[in-house]
Every structure is written in C-alpha cells, then in structure tokens.
Amino acid sequence: MRRIILSGEGKENNEKLFIAVFVGVLTLLSEKAIDIEEAENYLLSPYTAEALKVFSINERIAELVLYACELEDIESLMPEKLESVISKILYELIQICKKSDKPALPTKKWVDCKKFEPSDSVILET
C-alpha cells in the first residue's frame, strides 16, 4: 500500500499547509467538484478540529473546521446561504495565512510518498 504524507516542519508551516488543504477542499466544494459528504470525509469533522488543537494549530482554524462541519445543515435548511458561508470561511482562512510569518526558505518538502505494509503505523510528532 502506498500513502502520501503531508507534513510541515514547525507550527507556521503546519498551519499554512493545513490552510492550503482546507482552502482547496472548500474551493472544490464551492465549484461542486465534490459534495459535502466527501468534504466531511476528507477534512471537515470534529476529529480534525480536535487534532488541530492537539498539534497547537491556530485555534481559529480549528473553530473554522467546526463551523464548516455545519455546512450540511446549512445546505439542507438554507441552501441560498451556502455559498456565502463558504466564502466567509475562505476569506478568513486567507486572512490568517496572510498574517502568518513566512518561513525561512528552503524548508523540508511537504509531500512524501512511502510504501507501507498494512501493519505499519504512522506516528505523528509535535
């Protein structure tokens, strides 16, 4: 089995990497390239928000993940508001990214492909 591992080095890199992925998921959702169920499966879950807190990622980013977990309810109860809610979350994520420090370059690459056996486990370190 092959896995793609995304990892940043340091808090700022991890935050920017996560924001990039979060913005991508929301953009795909907004463009109807994926649906909310798929977005929730990839990223938008209380589990993700909790993991961000454990790794000391900006608390507001974790709050935005939790807010995005409500998109399914918004879609079913107020579908006309879905796009504006997604746009507000995207705007706030971009503002957080703009305010964060630029890392010293070059940095360790974020993407790594490795072959794993089914019995392998991945250990996350802070």
Model confidence, pTM: 0.82
pLDDT tens, residue by residue, 27-67: 999 999 999 999 999 999 999 999 888 887 889 999 999 99
Query: Please, is 16 exposed, middle or buried when counting C-beta atoms within 10 Å of its C-beta (0-12, 13-18, 19+)?
Result: buried
Candidate from 15-24, 70-79, 115-124 with smallest mean pLDDT: 115-124
pLDDT tens, residue by residue, 86-104: 999 999 999 999 998 887 7
pLDDT band per the 50, 70, 90 thresholds, residue 77: very high
